[in-house]
Amino acid sequence: MAGWAIAVHGGAGVDPNLPTERQEMAKQLLTRCLNLGIAALRSSVPAIDVVELVVRELETDPLFNSGRGSALTENGTVEMEASIMDGPGRRCGAVSGLTTVKNPVSLARLVMDKSPHSYLAFSGAEKFAKQMGVDRVENDYFITQDNVEMLKLAKEADSIVFDYRIPKVCGTGVQSPIHMNGLPISIYAPETVGCVVVDSQGRCAAATSTGGLLNKRMGRIGDSPLIGAGTYACDLCGVSCTGEGEAIIRGTLAREVAAVMEYKGLRLQEAVDFVIKERLDEGKAGLIAVSNTGEVAYGFNCVGMFRGCASENGFMEVGIWD
């Protein structure tokens, strides 16, 4: 085996005018999460435990759109979703419509480990969380003042573009330049979080978590909890996606990386580049990936992606832009 590798992301699609202060905050959080994962990998913690550990950290910090700090629905509440997948045996777990679970990725892990199912949602997921005794809080815990203000703007304005904390408000009658499933949308909050890991035994794992779109309809489910779309892991690789959920779903983006590695014989970065170029149609997205040989890769076709990666050979990178 070539050694361990890890990558994290905090969302694809970044306002090019993002203030330097917030860029630095994002880089610091990504670096902290990378170091957390690196320490675990150096202690021989299995890949599946590392991705859960890192995503929990991302969910707890309100900077990105997952857990505390999740984007608000049209009703001003939070509905979160997450998934996790263990490459050996392709075991997986996913959850949607969570309103009280402090760390959605850990409930997804419990679905994988402690239930006969792969996916639980809404009241069924909440009931399972209560049965499992996971940490639960009032919905207000997840709501930040930033997101309350952004939801207000989203409802008042015709269009708000990209980074949802720093809006560009278009005048009345100006059509949104952002489309989803061919239809203009009024708000896009890209900051999903994710982590992919291959450990020193060559075991791959992936996890993804999000609050979804700001001002989304109640009950909307994106790509993050969908195995093969937002998250995938197998013997070859682990993948976590971020960006326009509907495009990622249509392209089964995460699974496609593994598929072209398996059927076309591509190396990891080649597979990532191929999928970003050929499988998104007009959608905008990004992804991070690791292979069972210790490779780490990422790709995106939008303006920026919050990401960081490291490998056992001493390589480490944290960045936002191309």
Q: Specify binding-site residues.
A: 220-223, 242-245
Residue 186, classed as helix, strand or coil, is coil
Residues 6+ apart with CB under 8 A from 286: 9, 12, 13, 241, 242, 243, 276, 298, 299, 300, 301, 302, 305, 307
Tokens of 15: 């306002």
* Rounded-to-integer distance, Cα 78 and Cα 147, Å: 10
3-state SS string over 126-139?
A: HHHHHHHCCCECCH
The annotated binding site for substrate is made up of: 220-223, 242-245
Determine the number of helices (DSSP H) and then strands (DSSP E) in the chain: 8, 14
CA atoms within 13 A on the CB side of 19: 6
Point out which residues pair with 290 in neighbouring strands.
238, 296
β-pair type (296-300, 231-233): unpaired
Q: Residue 192 catalytic?
A: yes
Bridge partners of residue 209, in order along the sequence: 82, 193
The CB-side HSE value for 297 (13 A sphere, CA atoms) comes to 26
Contacts of 8 (CB under 8 A, 6+ apart): 30, 33, 34, 37, 54, 58, 193, 194, 195, 288, 307, 308, 309
Tokens of 112: 């994988």
DSSP code of 204?
Answer: E
Residue 107: both structure tokens together: 């409930």
Active-site residue, selected from the candidate residues 192, 208, 210, 231 = 192
Measured CA to CA in angstroms, residue 54 lies from 39, 57, 197, 217 at distances of: 11, 5, 10, 29
Catalytic machinery residues: 192
